[in-house]
């Protein structure tokens, strides 16, 4: 019997299946972070997932370092999500809002200031400026000890806005080189204050701020313990993330991106967390089944869900998958967004 099609409970949510749509930035919002009506179509097409996790949404103007990503710090931004969450619910789905602060990974032309735990620039790859042009990464300003608790509060306020707009839950984005991840890993946190002596402290403050607003049973956290993307590394990922997993005990789920070989430490981190774990990174149906047998609560699919609105139905029928078009992952409109065909439209 298939495990992916079995229902499960995660926090306050009852999921009809264990296939999660992974969070994916599509950079199709307005310049001031307003979600477009087309997003309602895109997410509704994928409402068959056990849970959709939205693209990353910036919690503040300061954390809005990528062009054309959505935000959740103004009333207009909040209202732009209402039809999206509503449409997903009407289609029978569940949806969690992923919240982040871009930290050193953004570009100052988008919002005015680049901040991070330590003034260390990314040395590989390029940033995108406000006009979507590739430009060198800049050196971020080191945050003062005093201003950090205010950023944690921004996460709490954005979580409140997400729930008020109709989201079922919130995922705190502590992965993939953004601000929380920059505090966690040793390569990017060289601070000597309390936020450097305990690299999980900022994460804990964010989790406290969010759970105080919306409850631990509607809060999840995403980590990418060994992903090297954007020049990230850590002296001892197992120890760092064991502490991080312990720090978030009691939230509804922990979501692990297993890039960079992190699947090897998934069992230890799952044990440290003690709650439902979602795994992600390169999974197909067979590998997902194996992960569920091994103890994962659910499996998240990124590119497969991007290119296949009816991914679960295709798994069920063992049908071929659409070919993803990386050229339309970021920016643009319908093409490569809402026009991937469902099975019944494939000749």
Ligand X SMILES: Cc1cc2nc3c(=O)[nH]c(=O)nc-3n(C[C@H](O)[C@H](O)[C@H](O)COP(=O)(O)O)c2cc1C
Catalytic positions are: 178
Contact status, residue 66 vs residue 113, Cβ threshold 8 Å: no
Task: Say what the alpha-carbon torsion angle 232, 234, 235, 238 is, to the nearest 10 degrees.
Answer: -150
Q: For ligand X, which residue of 222, 223, 241, 253 counts as binding (CB under 6 A)?
A: 222
The tokens 């032309």 sit on which residue? 109
User: Counting runs of H as helices and runs of E as strands, what totals does the chain give?
Assistant: 12, 14
Residue from 111, 273, 301, 337 touching ligand X (CB under 6 A): that is 301
**Which residue number, 25 or 230, has a Cβ lying nearer to ligand X?**
25
CB of 94 closer than 8 Å to CB of 51: yes
**DSSP SS3 for 208:** helix
Contact flags string 50-69 toward ligand X, x per CB under 6 A: -----xx-------------
Nearer to ligand X, 156 or 281 (CB): 281
Closer residue to ligand X (CB): 88 or 262: 262
Determine if 257 is a binding residue for ligand X (CB under 6 A): yes
- Closest contact distance (angstroms) between CB of 8 and ligand X is 19
- Min separation Cβ 69 and ligand X, Å: 8
The answer to whether 292 touches 1, Cβ cutoff 8 Å, is no
Calpha distance 2→71 (Å, rounded)? 38
Q: Give the one residue of 74, 229, 268, 329 binding ligand X; rule: CB under 6 A.
A: 329
First to last CA, the chain: 30
Q: Which residue is nearest to ligand X (CB)?
A: 302
* Residue of the chain from 282, 295, 320, 327 that contacts ligand X (CB under 6 A): 282
Q: Using CA atoms, how far apart are residues 110 and 131, in angstroms rounded to an integer?
A: 8
Residue 199 in tokens:
């690299």
Distance CA 130, CA 114 (A): 13
Could you give the angle at which helices 75-90 and 38-45 cross, rounded to 10 degrees?
40
Q: Which is nearer to ligand X, 225 or 304 (CB)?
A: 304
Nearer to ligand X among residue 191 and residue 330 (C-beta): 330
Of the listed pieces 86-94, 213-221, 276-284, 331-339, which binds ligand X according to CB under 6 A? 276-284
Smallest gap, in angstroms, from Cβ of residue 192 to ligand X?
A: 29
Using the contact rule CB under 6 A, the part of the chain among 110-118, 170-178, 199-207, 237-245 near ligand X is: 170-178
| Cβ-count burial 211-240 (b if 16+ within 10 Å, e if not) | bebbbbbbbbbbbbbbbebbbbebeebbeb
Q: Which is nearer to ligand X, 183 or 301 (CB)?
A: 301
Q: Which of residues 177-206 bind ligand X (CB under 6 A)?
A: none
- 140, 302, 309, 336: residue in contact with ligand X (rule CB under 6 A): 302
Token readout for 341 is 């065909």
In the bound state with ligand X, the residue whose beta carbon lies nearer, of 23 and 67, is 23
Is 268 near ligand X (CB under 6 A)?
no
Residue list 102-161, contact with ligand X (CB under 6 A): none
Query: In the set 23, 65, 166, 237, which binds ligand X (CB under 6 A)?
Result: 23
Bridge-partner residues for 142, per DSSP?
Answer: 116
- Under the criterion CB under 6 A, does residue 303 sit at the interface with ligand X? yes
Residue range at the interface with ligand X (CB under 6 A); choices 3-11, 42-50, 201-209, 296-304: 296-304
**DSSP secondary structure letter of residue 185:** S
User: What dihedral angle (degrees, nearest 10) is formed by the CA atoms of 127, 222, 156, 114?
Assistant: -20
Give contact residues for ligand X (rule: CB under 6 A). Answer: 22-25, 55-56, 98, 173, 175-176, 222, 257, 280-283, 301-304, 329
């Amino acid at each position: 019997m298939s495990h992916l099609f079995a229902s499960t409970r995660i926090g306050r949510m009852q999921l009809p299946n264990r296939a999660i749509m992974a969070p994916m930035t599509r950079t199709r919002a307005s310049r001031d972070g307003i979600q477009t009506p087309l997003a309602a179509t895109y997410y509704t097409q994928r409402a068959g997932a056990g849970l959709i996790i939205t693209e990353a949404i910036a919690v503040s103007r300061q954390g809005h370092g990528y062009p054309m990503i959505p935000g959740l710090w103004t009333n207009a931004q909040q209202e732009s999500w209402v039809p999206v969450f509503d449409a997903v619910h009407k289609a029978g789905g569940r949806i969690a809002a992923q919240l982040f602060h871009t930290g050193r990974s953004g570009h100052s032309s988008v919002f005015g200031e680049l901040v991070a735990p330590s003034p260390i620039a990314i040395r590989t790859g390029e940033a995108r400026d406000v006009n979507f042009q590739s430009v060198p990464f800049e050196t971020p300003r080191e945050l003062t000890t005093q201003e950090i608790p205010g950023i944690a509060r921004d996460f709490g306020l954005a979580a409140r806005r997400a729930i008020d707009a109709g989201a079922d839950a919130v995922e705190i984005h502590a992965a993939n080189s953004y601000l929380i991840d920059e505090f966690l890993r040793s390569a990017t946190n060289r601070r000597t204050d309390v936020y450097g002596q305990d690299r999980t402290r900022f994460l804990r403050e964010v989790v406290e701020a969010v759970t105080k607003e919306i409850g631990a049973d509607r809060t999840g956290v995403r980590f990418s313990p060994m992903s090297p993307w954007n020049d990230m590394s850590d002296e001892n990922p197992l120890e760092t993330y064991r502490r991080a997993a312990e720090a978030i005990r009691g939230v509804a789920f922990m979501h692990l991106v297993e890039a960079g070989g992190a699947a090897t430490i998934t069992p230890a981190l799952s044990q440290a967390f003690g709650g439902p774990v979602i795994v992600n990174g390169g999974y197909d149906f067979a590998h997902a089944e194996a992960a569920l047998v091994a103890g994962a609560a659910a499996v998240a699919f990124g590119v497969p869900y991007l290119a296949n609105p009816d991914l679960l139905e295709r798994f069920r029928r063992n049908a071929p998958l659409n070919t993803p078009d990386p050229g339309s992952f970021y920016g643009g409109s319908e093409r490569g967004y809402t026009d991937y065909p469902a099975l019944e439209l494939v000749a």
